[in-house]
């Protein structure tokens, strides 16, 4: 990697459950297969205090600071975040929303209705996947998405199902007695398939049910030559049990940085 000129940029992804913020470093020229490197990252719930002091510290430590960019599957949250942006951190973040300008064909019925986070994942994976090989992207967040990028680099669509936390919340809120099981609790250890108490049974159903659905979708969508990339808050849990899978925790933010770089160059 050419480190002659390192540029830093803050990327913000406003999701339905969390706001993810990452500081990324990129050389002025980068080879295919390399993504911007995450230097600092934090995430918070929408009602948490925004970490302006922490961001100011990131900014003071970074060189060649480029304008901040923001996107997300929660447009109202994006606008709310921008409305309280302090001038001390520079210009208000630039919103990335027009997916028509993304550098990949979107081969679905209604391209403009595809969630931007799914397309940002695809932009990043197009840099990572081997040439002439398709890829599957599993993003385990509020919803879990299982999407396909063709060997030619096109977004081909995929599947959307409730994520781990959303499934746990539904079990708790729509029953009288079932307790709420959190994603961190799921991550303490791989659940035993045979749960011998209610909590253990929920952990088993949530984890193995989610993993089974993802595996089935991968098998039905693609062939054996396909590369598998996993991201999202529950992604590390799933990736351990997906053969050939590569866990990439920062895909949406890295895709956002790549789109911002295209804008810098007037593409």
CATH assignment at residue 115:
3.30.420.40
User: Is 192 part of a structural domain of the chain?
Assistant: no
pLDDT at 35 over 70: yes
What residues contact 68, with CB distance under 8 A and at least 6 apart? 9, 10, 11, 12, 89, 90, 91, 93, 94
Q: Which residues are designated catalytic?
A: 117
User: Is 132 part of a structural domain of the chain?
Assistant: yes
pLDDT at 3 over 70: no
Write down the mean pLDDT value for the chain.
92
- 119: pLDDT confidence band, cut at 50, 70 and 90? very high
- 215: pLDDT confidence band, cut at 50, 70 and 90? very high
- 28: pLDDT confidence band, cut at 50, 70 and 90? confident
Whole-prediction pTM = 0.93
User: Is 39 part of a structural domain of the chain?
Assistant: yes
- What is the pLDDT averaged over residues 154-162? 97
- Using the CB atoms, write b or e for 158-178: b if 16+ within 10 Å: bbeebbbbbbbbebeeeeeeb
pLDDT > 90 in the chain, percent = 76
User: Is 190 part of a structural domain of the chain?
Assistant: no
Domain range holding 105? 6-161+212-264
User: Is 114 part of a structural domain of the chain?
Assistant: yes
**Residue 106 has what DSSP assignment?**
B
User: Is 203 part of a structural domain of the chain?
Assistant: no
Structure confidence at residue 72 (pLDDT): 92
Tokens of 102: 């993304």
User: Is 184 part of a structural domain of the chain?
Assistant: no
Structure confidence at residue 4 (pLDDT): 61
pLDDT at 193 over 90: yes
Max mean pLDDT among 5-9, 47-51, 64-68, 107-111 falls in: 107-111
Q: How many domains does the chain have?
A: 1
- 265: pLDDT confidence band, cut at 50, 70 and 90? low
User: Is 38 part of a structural domain of the chain?
Assistant: yes
Residue 195 or residue 222, greater confidence = 195
């Amino acid at each position: 990697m050419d480190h002659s000129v390192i540029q830093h940029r803050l990327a913000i992804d406003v999701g339905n459950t969390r706001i993810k913020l990452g500081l990324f470093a990129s050389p002025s020229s980068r080879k295919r297969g390399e993504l911007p490197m995450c230097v600092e990252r934090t995430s918070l719930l929408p009602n948490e205090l925004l970490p302006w002091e922490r961001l100011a510290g990131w900014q003071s430590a970074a060189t060649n600071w480029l304008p901040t960019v923001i996107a997300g599957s929660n447009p109202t949250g994006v606008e709310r975040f921008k409305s309280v942006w302090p001038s001390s951190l520079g210009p208000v973040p630039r919103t990335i929303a027009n997916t028509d300008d993304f550098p990949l064909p979107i081969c679905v019925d209604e391209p403009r209705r595809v969630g931007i986070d799914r397309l940002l994942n695809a932009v990043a994976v197009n840099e990572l996947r081997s040439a002439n090989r398709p890829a599957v992207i599993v993003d385990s967040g509020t919803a879990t998405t299982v999407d396909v990028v063709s060997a030619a680099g096109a977004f081909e669509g995929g599947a959307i199902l409730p994520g781990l936390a959303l499934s746990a919340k539904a079990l708790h809120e729509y029953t009288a007695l079932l307790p709420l099981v959190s994603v961190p609790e799921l991550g303490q250890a791989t659940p035993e398939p045979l749960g011998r108490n209610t909590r253990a049974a929920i952990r088993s159903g949530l984890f193995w049910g989610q993993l089974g659905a993802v595996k089935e979708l991968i098998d039905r969508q693609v062939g054996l030559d396909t590369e598998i990339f996993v991201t999202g808050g529950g992604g590390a849990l799933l990736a351990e049990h997906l053969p050939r899978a590569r866990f990439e925790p920062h895909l949406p933010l890295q895709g956002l940085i790549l789109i911002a770089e295209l804008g810098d160059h007037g593409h």
